[in-house]
Structure 1
Amino acid sequence: MTPTLTPPQKWQRRHVLSLQDFTVAELDIVLQTALSFQEVLNRRTKKVPTLQARVVANLFFENSTRTRNSFELAAKRLSADILNFSPGTSALNKGETILDTAKTLWAMGAEFMVIRHQQSGVPQTIAAEMDRLGAQVAVLNAGDGLHEHPSQALLDLFTLCQLYDPHQPRCALLQGKKIAIVGDIRHSRVARSNLYSLKTAGADVHLAGPPTLLPLEFAEYGATLHWTLEPALADADIVMTLRLQRERMDQHLIPSLREYHRQFGMTHERLRLCKPHVHLMHPGPVNRGVELSSALLDDPQFSLVHQQVSSGVAVRMALLYLMGTYHGAKGG
């Protein structure tokens, strides 16, 4: 059965580009819709005809495994037709612009564009151009530069809320929970989107990392900053570790990977600083032995990484479905 929305919960966004201005009500709509699709994914027949004959174009200008596969599977589970764009074999190599590429896909019938790009602002630019042209195209930001990664933060939110109430995930469950985000905050679009969603949900967010990877500007997000690990972990309910974004670093910001792990790597011993029932998250891919130990990553008592991957398909199904119901005038 495809989930339905009651009139007070009507979706008001054509695009999902940022979580900065999402309300609690909007986050809860995503959570409840994802729950419905999670139930679909647990059935023997995992497909629904929700987006049958509608075209989803995946424009991934940056390498990705988890996010791209998750979106592709989500679209297939919704019975959509899929166009996968590969920049290496595209007309971009012949001088075509990104906007021209998007317009070409629109002309082919694309109604949804899932966009990942190494530069911040590309999904927003494409969404603005589609709106200018009067195209009924929904644009979803699958990660842009150092800006945001909304669907990752939403699947993290869904995973967390289900941890506290599997049958009715909602933002209120995170009210007052201490959540520590540890690692390369400076280069992390995941951290920015999580900060927006978790603060909106009412969580007490603490950031920890070396000063070179945790600039003072992040205090403006409403988080508490720590340049040592222990105070961030003290009595934490949840710890989110972030991958060292080595491909985005243009200078030596840490002495060595070994030194980083010594100061900020998560281990079973360090989890003892947190609350007894603490859980650990990581958006992947994981640098084992750097952000966290292999033993901790593979420990089902603490690690929610497998659940995060599983949640990703349901949440991305929910986003595509909701964007497909849009008939209003609000942007993303």
Structure 2
Amino acid sequence: MAAQELGFSQIGVTGVNLTEAEPGLEAWLAAGFHGSMNYMASHGLKRARPAELVPGTVSVINVRMDYLPGNVQNLSAETAWQALEEAQQGVVSVYARGRDYHKVLRSRLQKLQERMAALLGPFGHRVFTDSAPVMEAELAVRSGQGWRGKNTLVLQKDAGSFFFLGELFVDMALPFSEPVTDHCGTCTACLDVCPTQAIVAPYKLDARRCISYLTIEHAGPIPEEFRAPIGNRIYGCDDCQWACPWNKFAKRSPLPDFEARAPLVEPELAGLLAWDEPTFLRMTEGSAIRRIGHSRWLRNVALAAGNALAERSKLSTAQTESLIDALRRWQDHADPVVQEQVAWSLKQGA
């Protein structure tokens, strides 16, 4: 009851023995699939050993929290595909359109711990949500939150995959939850739809090809082979989720934290290119987007603008001119990555 009151959709418990997951983690790192996320390699097998990360940990309480915004009425797979065809607009991954989930989950997990302590007495604990070397998906699956989909995300029969995960490491023994079975069957929708073929095999993701990685984690120039496939996606990518049949059961979040901010729902690329750094910081205050910084944001938006100019038949003359003028503003940007991206994008409109 307390978990539901705090906005969590499900709660489960598992142990700290993730030995069976270690070979897969080692193979993924050895293949270089983590790209420039060097922290993953530096942490190594610590990710699979919760008791090493937080000595004394005996159980892990796992939660999931639905995040589809409640204030966007026409949000669906159909409208998501349509948005990708609107060349003059940018598309922001749904999870990033509201408040930064790190802040929301951490504070609510801490409140859950406080309620537990009021009933059970003080106990050792530590809260996590995508913020430390924790195998979140593995822990979630073991605690019955769902199964690992072929796109490597956790899937739930009643909720799809549009949810966040969080963990509460505790130093007391708790009864474990029962895991659920895999229900992907022969479906390959997520593999088939990925614009950059980042899902190189069922249950295996090469982050170096993933649009979420390229637009968020990757700091340098985006490789040219991926530029056209990225289209108008300017922060993250939801394609493998919208393609998943289980996401027809995805739930809206009751929390106002995850309501979509209007400037991020159907943003015009030319308007986004008008954001200087102070404007960017103001418009992304409290958002996960802010952490990539203004330069990387410009790189992403400029890339989408270049893709739009390459398909100028989808644009009006006024839209074309507006994008070109907006790009020219950043031709001499201090960051060479932005300079190169702007030059490439302007060339698409030549």
Category of TM-score, reference length = shorter chain = under 0.3
TM (norm. structure 1) is 0.28
The structure that is helix-richer by fraction is 2
TM (norm. structure 2) is 0.27
The structure number with the bigger radius of gyration is 2
